[in-house]
Structure 1
Amino acid sequence: MIKAAVARACIALLPFFGAAVCASSSAHAAEAAWVMKEHSSIRVVAWGPSPDEPDAIVLGIHLRLQPGWETYWRTPGDAGVPPDFFFDETENVDELYVDWPLPERKVQAGMTTYVYKDEVLLPVTIYPHEAAQPVKFRMRVTYAVCREVCMLEEADLALDVMPSAKDAKLTPLFEENKARMPVLENTPELAIDRVNGTDADGKRRLEVVARSNTAFVNPQIIIEAAPGFAFKPATVAATMEGRRLMLRSEYTHPNNMAIAEGETVVVTVFDATHAIERIMLVYPPE
């Protein structure tokens, strides 16, 4: 079975039907050929056994954009289309997760979107069903590319990977990408402690409490909730010499729905030097 973790993937594993170009690979290769599109190129690469998770291997969806073009993060923001992945033809896989590097926040005409420019590598962690057999990775991807206008590009990617194989020449690519990845659990260096839901003055807000062992530098937050919820830019109050934050974000819903106590949201807090992303329960105000 292939499934996606909410905090790591935040995508639906649903098929996209349409024409595509297939990049096939030789048996047990470490990287597939680039699929050349009108405004981008895309490939899949295999790093090998995960350095962090036993019994897992790490692949990467490697996307390059032409100068001036951009694509969207898993949650685009006030506009845009997220990438759509279809993995159901992948073989010898128990679990599959897609991780997302931090996007760039773009504010234009009063709208906030989250984008990637130039180049991005999305790590894919796979737990093989049979460790002695190759993983036959098959993926159809559809993604928006935008400059002054937006259009959809799509590709089929294929790569056969032996779980035990390690490709050292890809290590620099994956290691450099780590600097863009948020941590997924609280650490002594960075933590998200609590999310409170409030309803005061006729405005609904989420309050996020975060802390660091060093002072935050230009802290920012992204909150992801169920479809329809839209979050305004957060106000930030810092205490403990800048090492503890209270971030408040007002939200709306077209049907005037509220985020109830006990529901979950995905919260990403980041600044100039570090980032954290966690699935959090919503609590009543303290």
Structure 2
Amino acid sequence: MIQNAFRAATLGCALAMSGVLATDATAMEPVTAELRPGWRLPNGDHMAALHLTLAPGWKTYWRAPGDAGIPPVFDWSASDNVADVAALWPTPHVFRQSGARSVGYKEELVLPLRVAATGGPVTLEANMMIGVCSDICVPQELHVRATLPDSSSVDPVIAAALAEAPFTASEANVGKVQCSISPAKGGMVLRTEIDMPSAGGQEELVVEAGQPEIWASEPKTRREGGKLVSKTKLMHMEGKPFALDRSKLRITVLGAQHAVDIHGCSS
């Protein structure tokens, strides 16, 4: 099942990927994975983390990996006494290779996981498919498992990763967020205007439609005074017509000084 989900998730990335897709990653060992068991929260939930260590020169991808990236797929169904697992992604980096953009991490990724427990001993277990890339791109199927302790002792590595999360719109003093749509061949063009202070340097936008079947291209972005203006093309992965729910849109601004996570926009 996870292999089918991974193939579906990579459909929009396959043509944009640079390098050669390798099928035998065993000898290279580009990534290793473990679960950091973390600590119990006051409400009974648990804070853990997936810790990926990448070999020199390799990178892996954020939840929205860009045109040249491979989206990760996680299956937590083998866990015990777990109702939900929410990934709290640290701010990613932008990579460019052969004219294509990808969004992700190099060296390592500590991905905090907020685990909603149902009572009793908690065992967190995951099968996952991720992409890692260097001169070649390698799909990796990984398995991790850990029993989560009934302890309030904070793991400083996980705490540091939590501190690397993007600011909320409120924290970054974001004002009005407006968006409009216009028809385009095979889909639609989304135009956004975000009233916000600069995040520093050349700001990059990542647009997520909030609907997994809708693909968003790399936005063309510019500054107009205090506003960040962008245009991106949205298309259905199977070429079908679709309606856009503005409340589900998620826009991440990646700047040299900080990142900002914005949810939804008005017409």
TM-score over 0.5 for the pair: yes
Scaled by the length of structure 2, the TM-score of the pair is 0.77
Q: Say yes or no: does 1:205 pair with 2:190.
A: yes
Q: Say yes or no: does 1:235 pair with 2:221.
A: yes
Corresponding position of 2:130: 143
Corresponding position of 2:22: none
Q: Say yes or no: does 1:253 pair with 2:235.
A: yes
Corresponding position of 1:267: 251
Instruction: Name the SS of the counterpart of 2:161 in structure 1.
Output: helix
Instruction: Name the SS of the counterpart of 1:75 in structure 2.
Output: coil
Instruction: Name the SS of the counterpart of 1:197 in structure 2.
Output: strand
Counterpart Cα distance in 1 of 2:151 and 2:146 = 13
Corresponding position of 2:69: 80
Cα 1:261–1:88 change in 2 (3 A) is closer
Q: Say yes or no: does 1:38 pair with 2:20.
A: no
In 2, are the aligned partners of 1:95 and 1:127 still within 8 Å (CA)?
yes
Counterpart Cα distance in 1 of 2:107 and 2:115 = 26
User: Share of identical aligned residues, percent?
Assistant: 21
Letter in 1 for 2:152: K
Letter in 1 for 2:70: V
Counterpart Cα distance in 1 of 2:247 and 2:139 = 33
Counterpart Cα distance in 2 of 1:210 and 1:258 = 28
Q: Greater shift after overlay, 40-49 or 217-226?
A: 217-226
Counterpart Cα distance in 2 of 1:201 and 1:88 = 39
- CA RMSD between the two structures: 2.8
Counterpart Cα distance in 1 of 2:244 and 2:29 = 44
The counterpart of 1:158, out of the listed 141, 145, 152, is: 145
In 2, are the aligned partners of 1:197 and 1:260 still within 8 Å (CA)?
no
Cα 1:246–1:65 change in 2 (3 A) is same
Cα 1:256–1:249 change in 2 (3 A) is farther
Letter in 2 for 1:272: A
Q: Deviations along 1:174-208, whole A, 9 cap, x unmatched?
A: 2322342113x432433363231133899823213
Task: Return structure 1 stretches of 4+ with deviation > 4 angstroms.
Answer: 200-203, 256-259
Cα 1:44–1:194 change in 2 (3 A) is same
In 2, are the aligned partners of 1:86 and 1:140 still within 8 Å (CA)?
yes
Q: Say yes or no: does 1:193 pair with 2:193.
A: no
Q: Say yes or no: does 1:70 pair with 2:59.
A: yes
Q: Deviations along 1:78-131, whole A, 9 cap, x unmatched?
A: 12321211100111122220121222112222211112110011110012111x
1:261 to partner: Cα distance: 6.1
Corresponding position of 2:114: 125
In 2, are the aligned partners of 1:197 and 1:259 still within 8 Å (CA)?
no
Instruction: Name the SS of the counterpart of 2:62 in structure 1.
Output: strand
1:262 to partner: Cα distance: 4.2
Letter in 2 for 1:177: A
Letter in 2 for 1:112: R
Name the count of aligned residue pairs: 238
Letter in 2 for 1:181: A
Corresponding position of 2:38: 47
Letter in 1 for 2:205: I
Instruction: Name the SS of the counterpart of 2:63 in structure 1.
Output: strand
Q: Greater shift after overlay, 254-263 or 218-227?
A: 254-263
Q: Greater shift after overlay, 119-128 or 244-253?
A: 244-253
Instruction: Name the SS of the counterpart of 1:190 in structure 2.
Output: coil
1:222 to partner: Cα distance: 0.8
Corresponding position of 2:160: 176
Scaled by the length of structure 1, the TM-score of the pair is 0.72
In 2, are the aligned partners of 1:16 and 1:86 still within 8 Å (CA)?
no
Gaps of 5+ in 1: 1-13, 18-35
Corresponding position of 1:277: 261
Instruction: Name the SS of the counterpart of 1:267 in structure 2.
Output: strand
